[in-house]
A and B are shown apart, each in its own frame.
Chain A
């Protein structure tokens, strides 16, 4: 029988693992109003970012596209857009996309309504109405064809590639086999391992695309004329025993499991199909978790060795720790102990099954540790060009 989770049915047929009012600033300047509203009204989540003005057109388009994907995310039961009025993002296009999902939404316009205080008051009233409107929705069963899993490793050490990433890889294969979608990224951490990923591509064209995005990322890093080390691998990776980007990458790709790679998604793009996909993202948490959320991921499984604390505003992030010492030391942040693989006390399969069970419970509402203490305000949108 197909495995199931209990989620919230959205008007567009998608399934949310959470039921929030997402409050979306059209531009960085609206963040303060968004925070004030989110602090006041129950069940609201702010999607704070630092973009949306004085950027080149391709980046402004990317910011709009990303905000659209986030606003259309199934965990956003309702959406409140907060617009300044003179932003570079396309607020009309954002509103049209949200309206097309059929979910309740509203907008606050800061300049039009006469400034911050008026906008906050207006936003609180609108958010309250949206929050109450979706508050009675009940969970119902879904199979995993309704599930998109994001995967990520952060704060890696030498245990990551041998324990926690392998457990995530085991779960990634299970989700794909159940008809679900799995998205992984961190293109920087393909450097030195891209030939292995390219061999797993569904078509030669996808294989070429994988090699191309890695080449582009490597050339961006090289263009500054220095050794990338300390940027990647990070000082924490190096202290944890990872000497080179190649070593880090070879461990990082373990979390993608073994299934064929169907294609490469743009940073802002929603998942286009079932199976395993690559998302074009850098390695840094605040941008990659946004990319995963933009894909529509209702949960992210996140491997760490050093103890990375990151979460995301509208979705749960499950922490699985490969280092048994870190797990004990940061027990209030770590959900699962893959360090038992390193100690020889459990197999990858055993820990993988534990992670899979935790995943289904989490999709159905059980909290993760980081989520329970509300780590949810550090996010940003990955842009390519300069601020001008």
Chain B
């Protein structure tokens, strides 16, 4: 099976995209922007269906964006092509565990 591996960048400001295919390390995903343009990105890790890939390098503490809005904060250095999920992205909301 040589199916296309497609991902969606919802908003031009987003630094992550959701992938709608099962992706293995070394695969290239085609990230589709809202204007229909395609950005091919080689991914560094296996990424499950529906999960996210970084579209560019993201520093620790930087805001991760999807839908053009904040979906949380990077907790590790993230490189373009990295898998982005709970291991490197934290919510900034309803954090009863954070001391003010």
The 6 closest A-B pairs by CB, nearest first: A241-B50, A158-B50, A244-B91, A222-B96, A247-B71, A241-B51
Does B18 contact A241, Cβ atoms closer than 8 Å? yes
Is the CB of A13 closer than 8 A to any CB of chain B? no
Does B96 contact A246, Cβ atoms closer than 8 Å? no
Measured CB to CB, the closest approach of chain A to B24, in angstroms, equals 16
Is the CB of A192 closer than 8 A to any CB of chain B? yes
Which residues on A are within 8 Å of B, measured CB to CB?
A: 157-159, 161-162, 191-193, 196, 218, 221-229, 232, 238-241, 243-247, 250-251, 305, 323, 325, 342-344
State A251–B67 Cα separation when bound (angstroms): 8
Number of residue pairs A-B, CB distance < 8 angstroms: 97
Measured CB to CB, the closest approach of chain A to B29, in angstroms, equals 14
Sampled A-B contacts (6; CB under 8 Å): A158-B20, A159-B50, A222-B96, A241-B85, A244-B93, A245-B91
State A228–B95 Cα separation when bound (angstroms): 7
Checking A218, A222, A223, A246 against B71 with a beta-carbon cut-off of 8 angstroms, the contacting residue is A246
Give me 11 other A-B pairs in contact (C-beta within 8 A), A243-B71, A243-B84 excluded: A162-B8, A192-B93, A227-B97, A229-B86, A238-B86, A241-B48, A241-B49, A241-B50, A243-B72, A246-B92, A250-B71
Does A246 contact B49, Cβ atoms closer than 8 Å? no
Give the contact-size bracket for chain B: 20 to 34
Tell me whether chain A's interface is mostly helix, strand or loop, or mixed. loop
Given A243-B86, A247-B71: A158 and B18 interface contact (C-beta under 8 Å): yes
Given A192-B69, A251-B67: A241 and B96 interface contact (C-beta under 8 Å): no
Measured CB to CB, the closest approach of chain A to B5, in angstroms, equals 13
Which residues on B are within 8 Å of A, measured CB to CB?
A: 6, 8, 10, 18, 20, 48-52, 66-67, 69-72, 84-86, 89-97
State A193–B93 Cα separation when bound (angstroms): 11
Taking CB atoms, residues of chain A closer than 8 Å to B94 are 191, 218, 221-222, 227-228, 232, 245
Taking CB atoms, residues of chain B closer than 8 Å to A193 are 69
Given A157-B50, A162-B10, A325-B49: A221 and B71 interface contact (C-beta under 8 Å): no
State A241–B86 Cα separation when bound (angstroms): 9
Most buried by A among B6, B20, B52: B20
Taking CB atoms, residues of chain A closer than 8 Å to B67 are 161, 250-251
Does B69 contact A250, Cβ atoms closer than 8 Å? yes
State A247–B89 Cα separation when bound (angstroms): 11
Taking CB atoms, residues of chain B closer than 8 Å to A241 are 18, 48-52, 85
Does A247 contact B50, Cβ atoms closer than 8 Å? no
Measured CB to CB, the closest approach of chain B to A158, in angstroms, equals 4
Taking CB atoms, residues of chain B closer than 8 Å to A246 are 69-72, 91-93
Measured CB to CB, the closest approach of chain B to A346, in angstroms, equals 14
State A12–B25 Cα separation when bound (angstroms): 63
Taking CB atoms, residues of chain B closer than 8 Å to A224 are 96
Taking CB atoms, residues of chain B closer than 8 Å to A240 are 50
Closest to A306 in B: B50
Closest to B47 in A: A241
Does A342 contact B20, Cβ atoms closer than 8 Å? yes
State A250–B94 Cα separation when bound (angstroms): 15
Measured CB to CB, the closest approach of chain B to A38, in angstroms, equals 39
Measured CB to CB, the closest approach of chain A to B32, in angstroms, equals 9
Does B51 contact A227, Cβ atoms closer than 8 Å? no
Given A159-B20, A241-B49, A250-B67: A223 and B96 interface contact (C-beta under 8 Å): yes
Closest to A248 in B: B71
